[in-house]
Amino acid sequence: MLTMTDIIRDGHPTLREKAQEVALPISADDKKTIDEMLEFLKNSQDEKMAAKYKLRSGVGIAAPQINISKRMLVIHFYDDQKDTYVTHQLINPKIVSHSVEMAYLPQGEGCLSVDENIPGLVHRYARVTVSAFTPDGEQVKHRFNGFTAIVLQHELDHLNGVMFYDHIDKKDPLTPKPGAIELK
């Protein structure tokens, strides 16, 4: 199982690389990796497992964060509005369209690969349409909004060597951009 020792930290060159497309059909190795990434998120959200293995809670993870420079990401979290889990294992994901409108989390963002808190608003597209492949090789298209859109864009940034704090306005980190939606 993956633990925090498998997660590389800010400053590691892999976090600044553009990750490589995954060859399809996905290899057994890549399938194992993307399943371990999902297992990590589930474990990190399980009180007992997180305490036992000292896991930081995560709602998303991208392969470069475990030093695998491939275009694979996983998001997994409980959506209490829909009363169900949101779970996606996406291979070679691509934003094919997005809103003009921007959105942000009022508390800012964190990252499993960044140990310190970096305050500041991260403005992202409020809605994105993503084309990707599932581990079973099916091509899918998802329209994400709200928190899911934020998580997806945070993870997709990792595939392009972008860190969340790259988006923070250095001069005015805590001022929302005009028209941007504050997400609860």
Question: Which residues of this chain interact with ligand K2U, rule CB under 6 A?
Answer: 57-62, 105, 109-113, 150-151, 154-155, 158
**What x/- string results for residues 61 through 100 when contact with Ni ion is judged by CB under 5 A?**
----------------------------------------
Cis peptide before 135 (omega within 30 of 0): no
Q: Which is nearer to Ni ion, 118 or 181 (by Cβ)? A: 118
Check the CA dihedral 25-29-30-34 and report its sign.
positive
Whole-angstrom distance, CA of residue 68 vs CA of residue 137: 20
For residue 149, give both structure tokens: 């859109």
The site partner of 50 among ligand K2U, Ni ion, none (C-beta below 5 to 8 Å per kind) is none
> Would you call 159 exposed, middle or buried from its count of C-beta atoms within 10 A (0-12, 13-18, 19+)?
buried
What minimum distance in Å lies between the beta carbon of 158 and Ni ion? 6
Q: Which is nearer to ligand K2U, 101 or 137 (by Cβ)? A: 101
Q: Which is nearer to ligand K2U, 22 or 159 (by Cβ)? A: 159
For residue 158, give both structure tokens: 């990792």
Q: Which is nearer to Ni ion, 122 or 130 (by Cβ)? A: 122
Of residues 96 through 155, those in contact with Ni ion by CB under 5 A are 111
Active-site annotation, residues = 155
The site partner of 76 among Ni ion, ligand K2U, none (C-beta below 5 to 8 Å per kind) is none
Could you tell me the end-to-end alpha-carbon distance of the chain, in angstroms, rounded to an integer?
Answer: 33
Whole-angstrom distance, CA of residue 45 vs CA of residue 47: 6
For residue 104, give both structure tokens: 């942000």
User: For binding to Ni ion (CB under 5 A), which residues are involved?
Assistant: 111
